[in-house]
């Protein structure tokens, strides 16, 4: 059974409260339930982590070394600013899929830069919760 680490970053815990016109009304706990349900249906084990602190996200990635088959990460705004998260991903060399609820390429210009995208095998953006399912399916399809 594949084991995936799902990391949600800064402000994702505010889903259902923040910018509902962009992120919808469903809560972060609804997202976590959705991810768990998809993983169970697809026969994958998932461990979910969330932090608003860049260093904590780096620690989640470092501690994943040798323990996970893949990482699914939505780092939130750290996507566009964190060389530290990029370097952690490169250090552990675990296959990674980047996920964003909104289409970051259709938003402000600064959101079009993704440091994580310099390492990730795939970026799924603008599909809401379904992007996480697509990321899990990607790992299931890999040999």
CB 73 within 8 A of CB 7: yes
Which residue is catalytic, options 23, 115, 119, 132? 23
Closest CA to 96 of 132, 123, 63: 123
CB 81 within 8 A of CB 110: no
Q: Does the annotation count 100 as an active-site position?
A: yes
Q: Does the annotation count 78 as an active-site position?
A: no
d(CA 59, CA 57): 5
Which residue is catalytic, options 100, 115, 119, 132? 100
Q: CB neighbours of 135 closer than 8 A, spacing ≥ 6? A: 72, 97, 99, 122, 124
CB 10 within 8 A of CB 107: no
Which residues are known to be catalytic?
23, 100
């Amino acid at each position: 059974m594949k084991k995936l680490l799902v990391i949600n970053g800064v402000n994702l815990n505010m889903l259902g409260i923040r910018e509902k016109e962009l992120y919808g009304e469903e809560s972060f706990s609804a997202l976590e339930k959705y991810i768990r349900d998809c993983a169970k249906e697809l026969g994958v084990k998932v461990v979910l982590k969330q932090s608003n602190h860049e260093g904590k996200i780096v620690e989640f990635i470092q501690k994943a070394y040798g323990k996970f088959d893949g990482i699914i990460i939505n780092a939130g705004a750290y996507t566009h600013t964190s060389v530290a998260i990029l370097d952690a991903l490169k250090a552990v060399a675990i296959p990674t899929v980047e996920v964003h609820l909104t289409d970051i390429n259709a938003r402000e210009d600064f959101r079009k830069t993704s440091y994580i995208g310099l390492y990730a095998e795939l970026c799924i953006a603008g599909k809401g919760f379904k992007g996480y399912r697509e990321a899990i399916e990607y790992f299931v399809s890999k040999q």
